[in-house]
Structure 1
Amino acid sequence: MHGPATVGWLLTALCAVTGTSCLLRARGARPGPRAEAGGEAAMGFGMAAMAAPAPWSGTPAAHTVSGWVFGTFFGALLVRELRLAATERHAAASPGRHLHHLLGSAAMVYMSLAMVLRPSGGAAAHHSAAGGLPVVTGMLLVYFAGYVLWTGTRLMPAGTGPASGPVGPRAALPPVARQAGVAAGCRLAMGAGMFAMLLAL
């Protein structure tokens, strides 16, 4: 991706932390949620690697190889999401969530191929030329911006009235509620990272 190296490393850190959180969430989960969290962890680590400036700081040939490697990786994630969406054991999962995962994987494949097809000409051309199709990039930007805003509002506290239960460290949420909040937070972080990477395309 082109843009300031500092932004790339910040995105790398954000996506790596998100991937680690999803990986920890997969431990001890039931098969369905574990597969979902594992896919999100793979997406987070893949995004972290792609956002790092290192793969894009070499020669045009290295850019092309990096683009094909990431395209293959995210293409495999896309096929995995399609397979999981079609299996009976995931029939009860939210169709919207499956669609979001599919769009995320497809967006990463799109960005990878855009980097492969970027006109060669050295590092200067790599950092100055825009990649991808403006219409497709714009539609993806609108989707992920809307997703981040929608998910962010859902994570905000629902009420400000007096608490009816115990207050203090022992008033922690049940494990299921905590897991749901962490899962939504991971998707929010990855959606924001996807939006930033599309801007840097």
Structure 2
Amino acid sequence: MALTGAREIKRDSRVLAHLANTPGDAQVHQIGAALGLRDRSVARSLDRLTDDGLAVSLDTDDQPLPLRTYRPADHPTTLSIRHVDFHPVIVTATTDHPAAHPALTRPDLRIVRADSVRPGDLIVSAFAATPDGRLRSTDYFACGAYPAIPQPYDPECGCGVCGTPEVEGLEGTVVLSTSYPWESCDPWPADELVLVLPRPDLP
């Protein structure tokens, strides 16, 4: 029976987390023994992580599967693992932007729906569209992270962004900021995922 996408993502995140926290390189059988997974299951996760640019294979295809060796795509010291609200946050690359860089090392960094972002939360990143069963990836805004100032959504506000098809979600639309950091509203589909650093005085 095939694994569901959610289970594959969870397994992939466990494998990547193990790679990130293992000094040096790791072989398939070592990862499997540490995580209680079969070698073939580990190998499937590593194949996906390699395809997604998150892991690097150090062997040729003729190497026996249990002995195949992998490392994270980035230097291990640039990775950190956060598990918040059952969403694994795996930081594989950093940014020099002064507003975003400090947030990436915070243990309270979390993934929430756009309609769960609260006033004062720091919006760090959006998530790119990803095929089912693959880890969701993000990129950083050129403007850097910015504070959320949620406002009611008005598709007729005239800002040039509200009311466009791209921001209309099946569960509605929320506005997370107006005029900053762009000269327009910042509407998001309500169910879209957002990487945020919660406001310190909120639970």
Q: When the two structures are superposed, what TM-score results if normalisation uses the length of structure 1?
A: 0.24
Counting helix residues as a fraction of each chain, which structure ranks higher? 1
Q: When the two structures are superposed, what TM-score results if normalisation uses the length of structure 2?
A: 0.24
Counting strand residues as a fraction of each chain, which structure ranks higher? 2
With a CA cutoff of 8 Å and minimum separation of 6, indicate the structure with the bigger relative contact order.
1
